[in-house]
């Protein structure tokens, strides 16, 4: 495992560009009414990962790793030609092992059978099928399994600024929401953390302790003085705001119709 993000497999092999992601979704977009419907499907599958993780009582970092595995898989595959339910269950199972909170494969598949009963009539695979698909998933991930997330840099920066708990919580929620977008495939984790802090400050949810660095500093100047590409931070913010625009019209009970349209 690399000691820092810059020497990691994530930086060397899994920092992608928008062109590659656009190519990966071309086929699926031909079979849905709009790009918005495609994005809603992606939100839905992330939602299913979150629901399965909740049943398994997994901590947020495990969920985030499962999100990243799912998105990496579909950077090279089509929703239409695969079974995303099998993919997401296997992503969750693999994430529990990599994040060192392993859950028996039979427990994962059993919970999936209960969870997916309303939408899919259950989970039509047994443990052996998930174990078999795990090897295929590992190949698609190129066996690079360590994921660096924005949570640690977010907490470090907020602590340095003296941001109070309410502001940290708001920025943390934004990071959680960012996994519904593709920013985890496009930008380093510290940039996503900075974008979440930027949104927290702009939306007036940042609250700094009296006398702290954040309290004494003009935050606009603080961001201007950072040795980072502010255009990238703005792009991340725009991606997150865009997903909120789609998300506000997202209704889970409509997703099966869109899914059937894609598969037909």
Mean pLDDT of 112-139: 91
**Residues 135 and 155 placed together within one structural domain of the fold:** no
Residue 182 CB contacts under 8 Å (≥ 6 apart), including other chains: 21, 71, 239
**Residues 21 and 138 placed together within one structural domain of the fold:** yes
**Residues 56 and 105 placed together within one structural domain of the fold:** yes
Confidence of residue 100 (pLDDT cuts 50, 70, 90): very high
Helix 230-247 vs helix 165-178: crossing angle, to nearest 10: 80
Confidence of residue 2 (pLDDT cuts 50, 70, 90): low
**Residues 72 and 156 placed together within one structural domain of the fold:** no
Rounded distance between C-alpha atoms, residue 219 and residue 116, angstroms: 46
Residue 163: phi and psi, rounded to 5, are -70, 135
**Residues 123 and 156 placed together within one structural domain of the fold:** no
Q: Please state the domain count of the chain.
A: 2
Residue 262: both structure tokens together: 């894609």
- Cα 181 to the center of its chain, rounded Å: 7
What is the pTM assigned to this prediction? 0.95
**Residues 233 and 182 placed together within one structural domain of the fold:** yes
**Residues 77 and 135 placed together within one structural domain of the fold:** yes
Domain CATH number, residue 121: 1.10.472.10
**Residues 57 and 121 placed together within one structural domain of the fold:** yes
CA torsion sign for 172, 190, 141, 25 is positive
Mean pLDDT of 8-37: 93
Last residue in a domain, options 146, 177, 197: 146
Last residue in a domain, options 146, 181, 210: 146
Contact 192, 184 (CB under 8 A): yes
Rounded distance between C-alpha atoms, residue 78 and residue 32, angstroms: 13
**Residues 94 and 139 placed together within one structural domain of the fold:** yes
**Residues 25 and 133 placed together within one structural domain of the fold:** yes
- The answer on pLDDT for 1 being more than 60 is no
Which tens digits make up the pLDDT trace of 65-83? 999 999 999 999 999 999 9
Q: Which residue has the tokens 């949810």?
A: 205
36, part of any domain: yes
- The answer on pLDDT for 104 being more than 70 is yes
What region, left, alpha or beta, does residue 59 occupy, with left being phi > 0 and alpha being psi -120 to 50 degrees? beta
Last residue in a domain, options 130, 146, 162: 146
**Residues 158 and 138 placed together within one structural domain of the fold:** no
- Domain ranges, residue 29: 16-146
**Residues 44 and 138 placed together within one structural domain of the fold:** yes
End-to-end, the C-alpha distance of the chain in Å comes to 43
């Amino acid at each position: 495992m690399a000691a820092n993000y810059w020497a990691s497999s994530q930086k060397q092999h899994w920092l992608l560009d928008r062109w590659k992601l656009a190519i990966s979704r071309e086929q699926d977009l031909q079979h849905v009414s709009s790009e918005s419907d495609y994005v809603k499907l992606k939100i839905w599958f992330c939602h299913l990962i979150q629901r399965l993780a909740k049943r398994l009582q997994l901590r947020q970092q495990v969920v985030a790793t499962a999100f990243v595995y799912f998105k990496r898989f579909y950077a090279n595959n089509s929703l239409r030609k695969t079974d995303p339910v099998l993919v997401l269950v296997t992503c969750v199972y693999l994430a529990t092992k990599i994040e060192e909170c392993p859950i028996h494969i039979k427990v994962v598949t059993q919970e999936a059978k209960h969870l997916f009963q309303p939408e899919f009539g259950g989970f039509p695979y047994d443990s052996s099928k998930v174990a078999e698909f795990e090897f295929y998933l590992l190949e698609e991930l190129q066996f690079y399994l360590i994921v660096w997330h924005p949570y640690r840099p977010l907490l470090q920066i907020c602590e340095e600024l003296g941001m109070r708990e309410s502001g940290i919580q708001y920025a943390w929620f934004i990071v959680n929401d960012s996994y519904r977008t593709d920013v985890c495939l496009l930008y380093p984790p510290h940039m996503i953390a900075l974008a979440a802090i930027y949104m927290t400050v702009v939306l007036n949810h940042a609250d700094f302790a009296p006398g702290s660095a954040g309290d004494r500093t003009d935050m606009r100047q603080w961001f201007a003085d950072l040795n980072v590409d502010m255009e990238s931070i703005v792009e991340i913010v725009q991606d997150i705001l865009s997903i909120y625009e789609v998300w506000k019209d997202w209704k889970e009970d409509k997703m099966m119709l869109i899914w059937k349209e894609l598969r037909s």
